[in-house]
Amino acid sequence: MQVPGALRPGLRTRIVAYFSLATFIGVLILSVVTFAATRNYLVDKATTSARDQALANAQLVRTLVGSSRADAGEVVVDLRTQPGGYAVLHLGEEDLFYAQAPLRFTQSNLPTDFVSSAIAGRSGVQRVNFLGKPYEAVAIAVPAIDATYFEVFPISDVADTLGTIRSILVVAVLAITIVAGVLGFLLSGNVLYPLRRVTEAATTIAEGSLATRLEPEPDPELQQLVD
């Protein structure tokens, strides 16, 4: 089915549309790749930092609780965690949990299977939500004192940073596409100018002015039209 000539967009409009679409697709792909790479880097960095911090505290717990098991609760309370982070200690022999004061975060805020797996001796890392915010939970088995250490780190900063980057990339994609459309419009005018001259000359000849000639063109390929 052919599109009526009155409804079919002009050549210049199509050039601008194709130019804008090609630019949009290219910039979009680049933005997605950039965002994915940045996200992986930030998440990996946060996870590595969380594991290192949790491991250091777990080693401290092993030393202090190993010296005085009765002071386990005090040891956990005095642990230094990241701002907004929480620590929980489980002693296997007593089957008791110790959490930092105030008791905003306890083992009940962690997934049950994650806690059970850690107590069984399998250390691990899991993403959890607490009070509507994302956290990275690290579980470390400490068999030397029959204990399991849990530490939870806020990663809302990473989420906020990724949100900002996402917004910037969306704005950048739209802005670059608009600029590409404007450039396409301007460049298409120069590209189509010789064709307009040919059209005007053909119209003049059709009206009976057989002496009409095209002016010489500096472009060798366009000069063939003149010849």
Distant-in-sequence, close-in-space partners of 190: CB < 8 Å, separation ≥ 6: none
* Range list of β-strands (E), 61-132: 86-91, 96-99, 124-130
Q: Which residues pair with 91 in a beta bridge?
A: 96, 147
Q: How confident is the model at residue 46 (pLDDT cuts 50, 70, 90)?
A: confident
Number of other CB atoms surrounding residue 127 within 10 Å = 12
Tens digits of per-residue pLDDT, 139-162?
999 999 999 999 998 887 777 888
Whose tokens are 């005090």? That residue is 74
pTM: 0.61
pLDDT, average across residues 50-57: 86
Tens digits of per-residue pLDDT, 25-42?
988 899 899 888 988 888
Determine what percent of the chain falls in helix, strand and coil, rounding each to the nearest 5.
Answer: 60, 15, 25
What is the structure's pLDDT at 20? 84
Tokens (6 digits) for 15: 């050039």
What is the structure's pLDDT at 142? 93
Cβ-based burial of 75 (10 A; exposed 0-12, middle 13-18, buried ≥19):
buried
Are residues 174 and 186 in contact, defined by beta-carbon separation less than 8 angstroms?
no
Cβ-based burial of 50 (10 A; exposed 0-12, middle 13-18, buried ≥19):
buried
Domains in the chain with CATH codes:
11-33+162-226 (no CATH), 50-155 (3.30.450.20)
pLDDT, average across residues 85-100: 90
Three-state DSSP class for residue 83: coil
Tens digits of per-residue pLDDT, 178-200?
888 888 777 766 565 555 655 65
pLDDT, average across residues 111-124: 91
Q: Is the peptide bond before 154 cis (omega within 30 degrees of 0)?
A: no
| Nearest C-alpha neighbor of 124 from the set 133, 134, 111 | 111
pLDDT, average across residues 90-96: 90
What is the structure's pLDDT at 200? 58
